[in-house]
Structure 1
Amino acid sequence: MGFIVTEGMEFISGWGGKWPAPAKLNLMLRITGRREDGYHLLQTVFQMLDLCDWLAFRPVADGSVSLLSPIPGVPEQEDLTVRAANLLKLHTGCEAGVCIEIEKKLPMGGGLGGGSSDAATTLVVLNRLWGLRLPKQELMALGLRLGADVPVFVFGHAAWGEGVGEELQPIMLPEQWFVIIKPDCHVNTKEIFCSEGLTRDSKVIKMSDFLAGEESNDCTEEVCKMYPRVRDAMNALSVYAGARLTGTGACVFAQFPSKEEAEVVFQALKNEWLVFLAKGLNESPLYKKLEQE
């Protein structure tokens, strides 16, 4: 299958518009075992947020994939969006090119999935704009080759995750409000998962157990021990509500039933911390925009 950019392609619906790449939270994370290849077996719950990066795609005639403004410190060809577009081209034989513009709103290294979400939006949107028509499951499989969190963003719905996080089932969650603190540190995920003190034999639970209140994160103790600023952020947020770690962090969050309650906590913390106020979503805003195009 081969595609070549033609004159006027930029006027096709979607080209030049902005596409959301939402953040996510891990509302629970249990480590239930370890595979022979070293990957950990997990149970987790993902929920999207209305906090997003924004991506724009512009067709180019020479078949190249590039960024309008590369992220400082990240080689362009190693950027997940560039890798996603090139992987899609390789997988389908597509000859089209694209220049990608990323408007970063999500903090890097916080555990909110910004890079993975950017990659997923790239796969999903270019699949539409290039007319490739790959099914969602095929895009999810491609996404897994880019990173363990990419499939959930392609999936596009709040999800119960198992395996290494890629076995997903939709889950309906209250769309409540979150206050999220990003401590001024970057947690090394590999370091956490290699830690000797990490719990790796948590009991397997059911989705109903989570919905009944089982919200533990097996990484919390090790991350707080190794990263004092994460511990400090947990303590600061715990003054107002139950604070939890998302994934391996570094972001910590607390949940509130109303925007007004969350806003009070946001205002109280914003002078001392990098804080975000966001609403939980069951459906990704990416797919809502796709439906509107």
Structure 2
Amino acid sequence: MKTRHLVPALAIATVGLLGLTACGGGTATGGSGSQGDELAGLTGTIGSKDFSEQYILAYLTSQLLNAYGANLETNTQLVGSANVRQALENDDFLGYWEYTGTSWITYNGNTTPIADAQEQFDAVKEADAAKGIAWIDPAPMNNTYAFAIRQSEADALGVSTLSDVAALPAADQTFCIESEFSTRDDGWPGLKAAYGIDVPDSNVALLDTGVIYTATQKGDDCNFGEVFATDGRIAALDLVVMEDDKQFFPVYQGGFTLKQSTLDEYPAIADVLAKLSPLLTTETMQKLNALADVDGEDPEDIARDFLTENGLI
């Protein structure tokens, strides 16, 4: 997530066209079949949502699978979780990386997350299996929502938890959030209810994902910015994350999703991705994301370098 965008239904109608035409790279690897031919004949497009972590995950996947004989493209052009999920369901995408919390709440209509990561994954896997969508065993990373504040202001206000934030005077409770987060059950409405936050709309600024980090660091638009646990900009901008002491936010463990029919035809997909997924911890993704969002490196190059350095291609 790093937004986990939901967008209007009109935009969803464009998925088929975008899924077929708005493709980036992803076929360049150490050589198609350089590691084996287990996936020879596998073609299609690996999709992503519209933020750096997803771009990196998409390229990691296409490059690794191509190294085992597949011939896959990479599409990083769609905006919004709903669009990307629809592209998978419509077979415009062969697969993409999803987050357990997003599927559990947004796609499967649950309002209460499961705190245990393994139990949450098992529940999501079962729910999506009924829709013909399979989950490959997930990575350890948890890209959950969080709120952060610049370190100096955290010290000045004496806050370290979201309960501390809720106890502040209203004038200090200023927030920067995304438009999607402002309406999600696992976002702003639920958070306010869980922690008893009661502030006027004027205390809340709706900003794009990337802008939130810099706005939070500057402190002009808000004290507290909605961030994601795997984002490399947290450390780079000297932000400190508030502890979710009431455990409101779900687990957002990342896992590759695809049609069960595709996995049945090419079961080696799971075996190949099992070489990659265990390496993708929260800390590793923070570092990879920082290369893109802080250092400005290209996600396709970041993916290739990571796979090469770890002997996967």
Question: What is the TM-score normalised by the length of structure 1?
Answer: 0.27
Larger strand fraction of residues: 1
Relative to its length, the structure with more helix (as a share) is: 2
**What is the TM-score of this pair, normalised by structure 2?**
0.26
